[in-house]
A and B are shown apart, each in its own frame.
Chain A
Amino acid sequence: MTIRVTQPGLSTTVQDLGRPGYFHLGIPISGGMDRFALRAANLLVGNDEGAAVLEAVFMGPALEFTVDAIVAVTGAEMTPKVDDQLRETWTSFAVKAGQILSFEILKSGARAYIAIAGGIDVPMALGSRSTYSLGGLGGHEGRALVVDDELSLGQAGLGAKSGIHIAPKLRRSPGNPAELRMLPGLYWHRVTDVSGRNFFDDTWQVAPEADRIGYRFRGGRKLEFVDREQPFGAGSDPSNIVDGCYPYGSVQVPGGTEPIVLHRDAVSGGGYFMLGTVISADMDLIGQLQPHTATRFIEVTLEGAMKARRGRQNLLDELRASLD
């Protein structure tokens, strides 16, 4: 009941829906960056939506199966292969004991979710199987997979079968340019009105420094700050604040130059001001952005954020219904 890693890919980690409840101690939620795709992959193989899967970024791993299994790959377009026979993404398929699952090169998106019926059975750490690499916690030995790692599988459900498919209209992927809706707030008042408008007007590009902790963007105009005497304890740069908590999705701009959107492995706090927060409905999209992708930040109200949230929940309900 195991799979063996014959090639690890670029950075492949075990992830589920994460471990809420410990951010006040600096331990972030972790879990799949694209939760929608993670849930979809699990549903395709008959797992609970939150079962542990593999998240592979930019490049897929190669995995040798020692047991027959049902597998599905969602998220990024990275065509799966079983012993060099191509399989479809967003569609469950069978892998037999002794066969190797590997991947073609990435065509679009950034992160593929590889669900195996039964789920990846690593030990629970603080209520989750997700990997938090920075803290060496959870997943397989608290780190990304390396060659010759062996992963146990849980017991597959009775419903697991090949050929289950999710229609393209039920998938989500970022547009071009990608649009991320942001609720202004937090320390928005630190920048001038002109800079605030520029931030939304400019087209940004995803920087190479983009990972599970956060995505950095560049290419927009530098932000100008409202003059003030820096408060005690804040540090001398106008982009500094007294160290505070960082929300998931918050957009900090150190030095006013390159915005960073914090993601599932977020640092929990620090001393940089934040312009606002990317809304929960659009966090999954960030997980599918490749470096250099053109990106716009779109201003949204709290009402708009709640509406988008319901829209995303409705899509998930449709997806569930389509597989019933």
Chain B
Amino acid sequence: MKTRYSFGGDEHIFVEVDEQMSLEAFFKSLSMTNAVRSSAITGVIEICPSNASFQIKFNPDVITPAEMLSVLEEIEEKASHTDHNLDTRIIEIPVYYQDPWTHETLMRFRERHQDPKVTDIEYAARINGYDRVEGFIDAHSGSPWFVSMVGFVAGLPFMYQMVDRSKQIQVPKYLSPRTDTPKLTIGYGGCFSCIYSVRGAGGYQMFGITPMPIYDPNQEVSYLKDFMVFFNPGDIVKFKPIDRATYDRIVADVNAGLYEPKIRPVTFSLDDFQKDIDGTNQKLLDVLQ
């Protein structure tokens, strides 16, 4: 891991913590952006963490590009000496896998898929070595996931699977992007899962749908009244498979203003995780029980 700094025009600095994705790179990116935020640097406008890199937008009339660079290098130096603990929250996201809405959509765009004869999840299961879709769903919903980036469009979380790299699910994106994706689709591309926050174009494979809104610009959903975007980078997610009846019940509860997402505070230690992945994950998941 070698940090690379590059200016994005006169108003951005782009910091690549590592060329490749890893939890270590994400963690370093997140701790550096947290340090920038808590330093409250005059002239900093936006602090955007992503998977293995981050970006700062600044006003170069207030802080020169050279000053901005040296401040970040100092923060990097400090970040390498801090402990790798993160106070965050774990959230259970109900998922109706193989739902009728994403199924209808994937059938409409079959000619854009690598394997038009099977569904997205059947394809993903096969190329990741699962004989049956059920086993694949167990893997997707069995481990926790780190929200490593919120973006692309408003409120959309990218999630990175917290398992050993050898067990990580990987799938290509569609050969050519769809022009439609149902809102709240659980998607997958590369090594990232996502939840489409709004309806629209998309290239990720579609596995299912959640009944739980994650973005509401009108702020009518009960748990989005304080802020319209649900996710933050650094959140931990656990998917929970649900059936149609549960899906319908949650939709009704959301509409009635009664649904409360299951959220618990947790502290994540990268060192503990690296020493014992399964044990650390089990402790995280126990918090939800």
Contacts and interface: CB of A to CB of B under 8 A. Distances in A.
A267 B51 CA distance: 15
A247 B154 CA distance: 16
Contacts of B142: none
A269 B151 contact: yes
A21 B198 CA distance: 20
Nearest to B4: A189
Q: Interface extent on B, as a size class?
A: 35 or more
Contact of B217 (A136, A269, A309): A136
A282 to B, nearest CB: 9
A267 B177 CA distance: 15
Interface in B15-45: 16, 18-22, 45
A247 B20 contact: no
Interface string B223-263: 00000110111000000000000000000000000000000
Taking chain B's interface residues, is the majority helix, strand, or loop, or is none over half, making it mixed? loop
Contact of A233 (B7, B51, B65, B215): B51
B272 to A, nearest CB: 23
A225 B6 CA distance: 19
A244 B51 contact: yes
Contacts of B61: 309, 313
Contact of B152 (A26, A142, A306): A26
A247 B198 contact: no
Contacts of B10: 183, 279-281, 302, 305-306, 309
Contacts of A276: 8-9
B54 A26 contact: no
A147 interface: no
B49 interface: yes
Interface string B44-85: 011111111111010011000100000000000000000000
Nearest to B53: A244
B172 A135 contact: no
A233 B191 contact: yes
A142 B172 CA distance: 33
Contact of A243 (B57, B158, B233): B158
Interface string B149-168: 11111111010000001000
A27 interface: yes
Nearest to A279: B9
B146 interface: no
B92 interface: no
B12 A277 contact: yes
> Which A-B residue pairs are the 6 nearest by beta carbons?
A233-B21, A247-B8, A277-B9, A231-B20, A268-B151, A245-B55
Given A23-B46, A24-B151, 12 more contacts: A24-B46, A24-B48, A25-B229, A134-B200, A135-B154, A137-B154, A234-B19, A243-B158, A247-B9, A249-B9, A250-B9, A277-B8
Interface of A: 20-27, 125-126, 132, 134-138, 142, 183, 185-186, 231-236, 241-245, 247-250, 267-271, 274, 276-281, 302, 305-306, 309, 313
17 contacts: A20-B45, A23-B57, A24-B151, A135-B215, A136-B198, A185-B8, A233-B20, A235-B189, A235-B190, A236-B172, A242-B52, A245-B50, A247-B55, A248-B12, A270-B152, A278-B9, A280-B10
